[in-house]
Structure 1
């Protein structure tokens, strides 16, 4: 069994393409993924930029991701990049993880529109929502954002946030931690303490991850 952690960056479809927007609102502009072996050791990386078909890179997307129009000029179309991603995964039995289900929803929409012959069941049969597994393990009713989860486990983010490969690498750190239940519980105990406070609580998760405190009142 292999394990792939994937992250995507997207760009909105321009408003002039009204017919396209009825099918999908965004296009993938970057794939980033890491593959872990049967021992959850990283063995390979995958990254590619994708040339959008329906409008240039929007300014707010550049501000968020650092991806400019120049960076996607001349790159392969989605159909080629997605097939390269599938080929990179290979035929070995593989689980594909992402933080939430937004990425698989995007891939399925884009495949149905741009690659109608591709059987999206290939994705459904392999995909796992790591965010949901993480929340379930902690008994949370509200989902934690990736940065909150990493902050709670005191993991220093590697690379730049909102770049697909860096997000995939950092998400994989959560997957690896979750393989050791005892270590996972010990690492995440401050989260459990703040969400289920005790009278003698001496330390605060606020020192570890201030943004997480904002979630407490919503739980």
Structure 2
């Protein structure tokens, strides 16, 4: 089994377009991915800026991602970039992985709105792995963790700048590999200590609350 770890970066679609032409809030501006082989080694990567049809890169998105209008101006449209990504994926025995389900949902929404149909998408979506949910189960928590939190908790030093599609895909791949292959999953010692203190404090508080109360 191979794994393609994917991360999308997006910009905001102005409300004027969302009324009549594109009903979703975000539009893709970058597709980044790394391919892991059967031994969880990175053997290939995919990276493409995407020229948005309706959205714009405002100062917030530019500061967050480092992506500028100049970067995407010569990039392919979403349909072409998506086709290139699907062509890049191994023909069989591969599962896509992402941090949260926002990436596959973005592809579903954007492809639908832009009338893009490709038989390969159904297979890709059917086998998609949400690494964020896997991590939450590992922590025995219901809440959703950010990638940055999860990397810190897992004692993994992130590489590169966050919110770059290829960088985030690579960092997610390191975390996913640890989740899948490390039987002795060690957490960051500071987080482990803080979590233990929180549990101990909660146990003390509840015990203290009911101390001296006789229950019939």
Q: Identify the TM-score tier after normalising by the shorter chain.
A: 0.7 to 0.9
| TM-score relative to the length of structure 1 | 0.83
CA deviation map 1:22-66 (0-9, x unaligned): 2x2111000110000001011001000000001432221101101
Q: Which structure has the larger Rg over C-alpha atoms? A: 2
Q: Deviations over 1:137-193 (max 9, x none)?
A: 221121211101111122221111100000000011111111234231x33676455
TM-score (norm 2): 0.84
Answer yes or no: is 1:11 the counterpart of 2:4: no
Counterparts of residues 1-219 of structure 1 (less than 5 Å): 1-17=1-17, 18-22=19-23, 24-119=24-119, 120-184=121-185, 186-187=186-187, 191=191, 194-197=194-197
User: Which segment drifts farther, 113-122 or 132-141?
Assistant: 113-122
Q: Assess, with a 3 A threshold, how the Cα gap between structure 1 residues 189 and 122 changes in structure 2: closer, same or farther.
A: farther
Root-mean-square deviation (Å): 2.0
Measure, in 1, the Cα distance between the counterparts of 2:134 and 2:190.
Answer: 19
Alpha-carbon distance in 2 for matches of 1:73, 1:48: 12
Give 5+ residue unaligned stretches, structure 1.
200-219
Q: Taking structure 1 as reference, are residues 140 and 55 closer, same or farther at Cα in structure 2, changes over 3 Å only?
A: closer
Q: For 1:93 and 1:189, how far apart are their aligned partners in 2?
A: 37
